[in-house]
Structure 1
Amino acid sequence: MTVAPRPGWRSALGVTLAMQTAAAALGQTLPVVAPVMTEAIGLSAESIGYLAGLTSLGTVLFLLCGGPVLERLGPVRTLQGGVALSGLALGLAGLGWAPALFAAALLLGIGYGPTPPAGSRILAATAPPEHRTLIFSVKQAGAPLGAVVAGLAGPPVALALGWEAVCLLGLLLGCCAGLAVQPWRGALDAGRNAGRPVGPGTLFSRRNLAAPLSALRLHPMLWPLALLSGAFACLQGSLFAFVVTWLVGKHGLSLPQAGVIFAVMQGAGVTARMALGWVADRSGRPALILASQAFIGSLLAVLLALAPAGTPGWTLGALAGACGFVAASWNGIALAEVARVAPPARISDATSGVTVVTFLCYFAAPFAFAAGVAALGWTLPLLGMAALPAAMGLLVAPRLLRG
């Protein structure tokens, strides 16, 4: 095992934030061009829900199997491989062939998979305890920040040059992002186990597949954190996958207008993750912040769902921004709590376990939402997803608040 000086938390945060941003931008590329992409390929508008579900399934596959890869390559090299794979997946999607598009969606998810456990492993080893929640939240702000980039850049490029050009830009981003963090790879990957087996027998062994979920039994707060994260994920995943299509289809906005509102929602999440992370550190009650977000986020999502056709764009933007601020800013606080209560040697496994539950919900929710939209229209499925964080908050908040 290689030994090197411990890196500072600032460089660790810079690397993880950059990779989180790139991974999120790549992962949100297909939803922001969905209206023109699905029409060009001959798919129904709600098909973006199936693509989003496959992306989440790919992430779950990595989280269940990829622990040995993370140990052997180190967190930075694994992150580099993830964004490269995501870039290649978008290149595949750009072929404009439906089967390739569905395969690309699955590969996008696998490419995103290293982001939560690798980032937590890096920051848990470097972040000062008194600022842990804020630092994790700043890193997680890269997720909506990347989506802002996708929302602002994707639609105009798609209209000017075609949606395939957006996919090619994603391919370029995936290659460049990995190269950009290479100077810090040696120090941050110093603790990797170069002799760790990564063959199929190891990756798909029962013990390896069970490790993330079994780690949730290591502390009584981990399962409640996982379940509340899953409820947030159902709402957030449905909104992020469908909001552009909903704004264009139901409200008659143009694709660039819908992209701006998508970016507003994501940008609010950037601000909120940092602001609420700071509040959580200062108050010493991160679980209370999470529980409050569940109830307030559900209320705001209900208001957005009930917005009638013809609602002014600025009103839709304000509601979407409020939803993004409250209902899409929980991730950093939740992951910081996981890192706080999990045994140090099992932080990656515990993070993967919580994230497996989260991404199973990211996987299932868009499928259920797409089926609901096809059968019932937009409003009832939106209301159903909006209710989930508050309902789960009622169940798990008492345990979380006990600490």
Structure 2
Amino acid sequence: MQSAPPKPGASPETAALAPPGAAASPARAQPVCARQPGWQAALGVTLAMQTAAAALGQTLPVVAPVMTDAVGLSPESIGYLAGLGSLGTALFLACGAPVLARLGPVRTLQAGLLLAAGSIGLAALGWPPVLLFASLLLGIGYGPTPPAGSRILAATAPPQHRTLIFSVKQAGAPLGAALAGLAGPVVALRLGWEAVCILGLLAGLAVATAVQPWRAALDTERDPRRAVGPGALFGRSNLAAPFAALRLHPLLMPLALLSGAFACLQGSLFAFVVTWLVGKHGLPLPEAGMIFAVMQGAGVTARLVLGWVADRSGRPSLVLAVQAFAGAGLAALFALAPVGTPAPLLGLLAAGTGFVAASWNGISLAEVARVAPAARISDATSGVTLIVFFCYFVAPISFAAGAAAWGWTLPLLLIAALPAAAGLCVVPRLLRG
């Protein structure tokens, strides 16, 4: 299946956001009226928004031990909140293409961050039904970051450095989580977990405002007449577009499946590691938050290093294959650490796991942007990311149920095995691509 070329005068990315088979109309697309910024400015905007959105998304997991105790929930219930957040992200990825087309990528990122900030502020009310609703909205607010960021960078990144630039942008995810892990537990113990939510609200407002100067230059291809009503958002062609895009190249589905396996491991670790360190290993909350931050910091470093390696090697898929098996092994060692393991050793295991198991995102998205037709990059990115966030949704909820039934170790080992299992199935196809 090949996408039809856009009509003369239509931008590729405007065509990318139209339903398959529908050509973008040049009369409806906003004319380019400003010089396209360089890739450095585009990267700065996407990195800032990714970092802020990720920090908000990890706010509840890093204060989970005190929050769940305060509101009368079981410790493993943080998995249900994390799963709802991922479900919200998947909802945006499935339906949000018309919004992205109408507003443009920067405005859509701003709107998402404002929604996420408001949601984390709402969570401060501390009523369990409100926490569930806020988690869903928080995920919807995070939803624009993959397709909008890919749209901006695909248009500006030099091809010879594409994987590294995508990896730098994706490094904002563990960077934001590390900031949440460093600040959240300390603020929660001194001022209460609700204060952490209010701090997140203010930070989100500040970052969404700070990127405004670049909005006009980066949103030149938006279509202000694009319909965004229920019919446009939930129409069959719009909902089918991300999944149809996965058939546009034989490498896209293997990338999606391997990325989904990584997501199961990463999502479960990020949701539960603080609670696991406090509940099983008896660490104080700030120390557990520090180890969480170490894991995230290793992921930041790895996304830069492995993105560079992937570009230099010319075989990004081979780098992903190595990560699948190495990440599974290190995560299993982390899961098997016995009670009484010194905190520095736990931190070292967390760093190793974070380095290889939480640094796949940028390489995967860069490969999607490389192999997908130019006019369907946003749809292909949404398709792969939909599978990823479905796994982010299912894995923490399944992990929570498993932890309640069998304790921590067995669910951690099962989650750790998934990247290796997926690697055995899809790596041969990736290497042929």
TM range (shorter): over 0.9
- 1:160 is aligned, of 169, 172, 190, to 190
Deviations along 1:129-158, whole A, 9 cap, x unmatched? 000000000000000000011000000000
Q: State the SS of the aligned residue for 2:31.
A: coil
- Match for residue 131 of structure 1? 161
* Percentage identity across paired residues of the two chains: 77
CA root-mean-square deviation: 0.5
Q: Deviations over 1:110-132 (max 9, x none)?
A: 00000000000000000000000
The answer for the alignment partner of 2:61 in structure 1 is: 31
Q: Distance in 2 between matches of 1:72 and 1:44?
A: 42
- Residue segments in structure 2 that go unaligned for 5+ positions in a row: 1-29
Which of 258, 281, 296 lines up with 1:251 in the alignment? 281
Counterpart of 1:91 in structure 2 is 121
Residue number in structure 2 paired with 1:218:
248
Which of 283, 289, 301 does residue 313 from structure 2 map onto? 283
Q: Cα distance, 1:194 vs. partner?
A: 1.0
TM-score by length of 2: 0.93
Per-residue deviation at 1:2? 2.6
What is the Cα deviation at residue 190 of structure 1? 0.6
* Structure 2 SS opposite 1:175: helix
CA distance in 2, matches of 1:65, 1:236: 25
Residue 205 of structure 1 and its aligned partner are, at CA, apart by 0.5
Structure 2 distance, partners of 1:82, 1:34, is: 23
* 1:60 alignment partner AA: A
Cα shift at 1:162 = 0.2
Shift, 1:6, TM fit:
1.7
Mapped to 2, the partners of 1:368 and 1:292 lie a distance apart of 26
TM-score (norm 1): 1.00
Of the three residues 386, 390, 393, the one matched with 1:363 is: 393
Extract unaligned runs of 5+ from structure 1.
Answer: none
Which residue in the other structure is 1:5 paired with?
35
Question: Equivalent of 1:327, from 318, 339, 357?
Answer: 357
State the distance in 2 between where 1:131 and 1:222 align: 20
Separation in 1 of the partners of 2:229 and 2:136?
21
1:66-104 Cα shifts (integer Å, max 9, x gaps): 000000000000000011000000111000111100101
Aligned residues of 1:58 and 1:113 also touching (Cα < 8 A): yes
**Total equivalences in the alignment:** 403
Q: Is 1:61 the equivalent of 2:69? A: no
1:343 aligns with 2:373: yes
Question: Secondary structure at 2:75's aligned position in 1?
Answer: coil
Counterparts of 1:41-120 in structure 2, within 5 Å, are: 41-120=71-150
Equivalent residue in structure 2 for 1:209, among 224, 239, 263: 239
CA distance in 1, matches of 2:369, 2:161: 13
Q: Which structure has more helix as a fraction of its residues?
A: 1
Aligned match of 1:274:
304
Provide the rounded CA distance (Å) in 2 between the counterparts of 1:210 and 1:50: 27
Tell me the distance in 2 between the aligned counterparts of 1:289 and 1:157. 38
Measured against aligned partners, the alpha-carbon deviations of 1:345-380 in whole angstroms (never above 9, x if no partner) come to: 110000000000000000000010000000000000
Looking at structure 1, the residues matched to 140 and 181 of structure 2 have their Cα atoms a distance apart, in angstroms, of 22
Structure-2 separation of matches of 1:376 and 1:98: 25
CA positional deviation for 1:58: 0.1
Shift of 1:319: 0.2
Q: Look up the equivalent residue of 1:14 and give its one-letter code.
A: G
Q: Which runs of 4+ in 1 moved over 2 A?
A: none
1: CA distance between counterparts of 2:31 and 2:191? 47
CA contact (8 A) 1:85 1:174 kept: no
